[in-house]
Structure 1
Amino acid sequence: MSYAAVGHITIDEMNEVRIGGSVVYGSLFATGLGMRASIVSRVGRDMPEEFLAKLEEEGVDTSRVKRSCERTTRFSISKGSYPLSLSSRCDNISVDDLSSLNADIIHLGPVANEINREVALESIKISRIVLLDLQGILRVFDNGIKLSRGYLDEFLDLEVVVHLNDLEAIAATGKDVRGALKELSRHFPIVAITLGRQGALFSFPEGILYAEAPEVDAKDEVGAGDVFSAALGIALFRGLELEDLAKFSVASATASTLYEGPCKIDENLIAELEGSVNVSWVEG
């Protein structure tokens, strides 16, 4: 089983400087479950070699990571919150970057509008399961980072599974979370909206499912949504029943908050937390 994450690897400035980005959190999660994981990305010449070497040591294939710009995409992040500012941005991902890629699951994880519709369409040709994190499509970088509908219209009606959080959903549609879920479900086959510590809402053709997250003493919530997306894709590939899929995705995201920074996650911990995820059909 193979997983490929596409998007910018970032340098995150918090109390310390560390590697970040959806592609990093997702690929480390996948390798922790025994999958073959790779990253398709572009970074700057300022990306510390030891950051990429650490990913390789953890089993992530970084052969498709190109040094194509001067400065890596870099965020300032307040721990446990949304990124505060973007200080630099690398080049866009291109269709050519996906050349000869072979993966069972492709996770499109843009953070700064670096992925376009053509890259998404090429991903659909390659893999039967493609996930799109909308966060990097809905961000506007103007005196900080704001949320809006952004480039969403460019991706409407693609055969991809989409994930976004509650604030992003409201900004993208101008509606409340339930209304946003219903609107987006008219354009995508599966939509998941994460609700922070409250869990997540899922829209499937069969109806709307709510998964309540277990209470934990979180250490670091950055990257939890990225792990959620990766887990959702893996659950779909495994063919889990919808209730089990929801439990696994929410438990995985919750488990990630018990670690500091991007890393592998103990599958036994995920299984333990799954038993505390309550699921219910809201509609359907």
Structure 2
Amino acid sequence: MSNMTVVGSLSTDFVVTADKRPTVGETIFGELFTTTFGGKGANQAVAAARLGGQVSMIGTVGSDLFGKEIVLNLENNSIDTTFVERVTQKPSGSAHITVVDGDNSIIYIPGANDEITKEQINLAQSQLESSDVVIIQNETPLDIIEQVIQTCFEKGIKTIYNPAPAKKVDQALIDQVTYFTPNESEFTLLFPTLTLSEGMAKYPNKLIVTMGSKGVYFNDGEKEVHVDSYKVTPIDTTGAGDTFNGAFGVALTAGLDMIESIRFGNLAAALSIQKFGAQSGMPTLVEMKESGLYEKEWNIK
């Protein structure tokens, strides 16, 4: 079983579906409103746990009702919450999502996620050191991201850094991570002077660019590699990238090579977008194996 730690955000998603997005000053009727659990960190932790990973979460929530429900949801997904701290000075994080024709736009409010501290990471040192892989994203403060990645680099712990939402990242930080997984738009923001091919050549077997329905690209040190996506009709793309990252981590720690790990992640993401909601759409390992697209040679248990 994969021993994984996710450091990152936890929030509540407030989701509206509509047949169009309003223009400035316009009020329109929506079709549906719901609340779901989210935060890129929590999403990736849930994705990994449902696929058989033994997952521990490091993060921060408020002392409000939303925070209590966020922690309970993690525990209901068999995620260790020992290192999830409750704070009183800020409310729990939230994301406000509009879904139109299966595509989403998001306003994210960090709230308590910004209150994670270096001391909290230090207290979780033993958890980090026991991990086969550590996953981190950009919805926590940059100094925390740097601390986690540097610690893992010094201890020889594999890391998956999903730089979403995109923010300026120091070259030295990228050098220290094992896998760097932006999507296409994040790559453009992070590397404005590089073409996709130039970026992948600069970071072989590290830079993995997810491109939705166009699949995933990386450079294996000799050539560019394209791993195609699984073609499905999306209902809600929210959380697809998080599903990919969690599944990719599970596959890597199960011993699959880069290409097969990406394929496993692609299938998990494809299944997730056929249901509504970020976490509610994430497949279990049983659901993955029930898919006609599942490869028996993956042999993930």
TM-score normalised by L of structure 2? 0.77
Alignment-derived partner of residue 108 in structure 1:
136
Q: 2:85 aligns with which of 52, 59, 66?
A: 66
Instruction: Say if 1:58 and 1:70 are closer, same or farther in 2 by CA, change over 3 A.
Output: same
CA shift for structure 1 position 5: 0.6
> Structure 2 stretches of 5 or more lacking a match?
17-33, 296-301
Count the aligned residue pairs: 263
For 1:51-62, list aligned pairs within 5 A. Answer: 51-62=70-81
Is the Cα contact below 8 Å between 1:9 and 1:21 reproduced in 2?
A: yes
* Aligned positions of 1:1-284 closer than 5 A: 1-15=2-16, 16-46=34-64, 47-68=66-87, 69-79=89-99, 80-86=103-109, 88=111, 90-94=114-118, 95-101=121-127, 102-114=130-142, 115-126=144-155, 128-136=157-165, 138-139=166-167, 150-153=168-171, 155-174=173-192, 179-180=195-196, 182-183=198-199, 185-187=201-203, 189-261=205-277, 262-263=279-280, 264-271=282-289, 272=291, 274=293
User: Which amino acid is 1:84 matched to?
Assistant: I
> How much does 1:172 deviate?
1.2
| AA aligned opposite 1:53 | L
Structure 1 pair 187/241, CA: closer, same or farther in 2 (3 Å)?
closer
Contact 1:11 1:74 in 2 (8 A): yes
**Is the contact made by 2:203 and 2:219 (CA closer than 8 Å) also made in structure 1?**
no
The offset of 1:189, in angstroms, is 4.3
Which has more strand, going by share of residues?
Answer: 1
CA separation of 1:109 and 1:87: change in aligned 2, threshold 3 A = closer
1:281 matched to which residue of 2? Answer: none
Counterpart AA for 2:187: A
Q: Following TM superposition, by how much is the alpha carbon of 1:49 offset from its aligned partner in structure 2, in angstroms? A: 1.4
CA offsets per residue over residues 176-202 of structure 1, 9 Å max, x none?
A: 7xx235325525741111112222112
Distance 1:87 1:105 in 2: 25
Radius of gyration: which is bigger? 2
CA separation of 1:85 and 1:4: change in aligned 2, threshold 3 A: closer
Q: Deviation above 6 Å: which 4+ runs of structure 1? A: none
Greater displacement, 113-122 / 193-202 = 113-122
CA distance 1:153–1:242, change in 2 (3 Å): closer
Cα distance per residue 1:78-137 (max 9 Å; x no partner): 22324235374531452325322121111112325453322211133456321001114x
**What secondary structure sits across from 1:83 in the alignment?**
strand
Structure 1 residues without counterparts, runs of 5 or longer: 140-149, 277-284
Shift of 1:229: 1.2
C-alpha displacement of 1:59: 0.6
Distance verdict in 2 for CA 1:36–1:231, change over 3 Å: same
Alignment CA distance shift 1:98-1:269 (3 Å)? same
Q: Deviations over 1:46-88 (max 9, x none)?
A: 3341231122122111111001342223222222324235374
State the Cα distance separating 1:7 from its structure 2 match: 0.8
Paired amino acid for 2:126: S
CA distance, structure 2, for counterparts of residue 128 and residue 112 of structure 1: 20
What is the Cα deviation at residue 165 of structure 1?
0.6
- SS of structure 2 residue aligned to 1:111: coil
| Contact preservation (8 Å) 1:9, 1:43 | yes
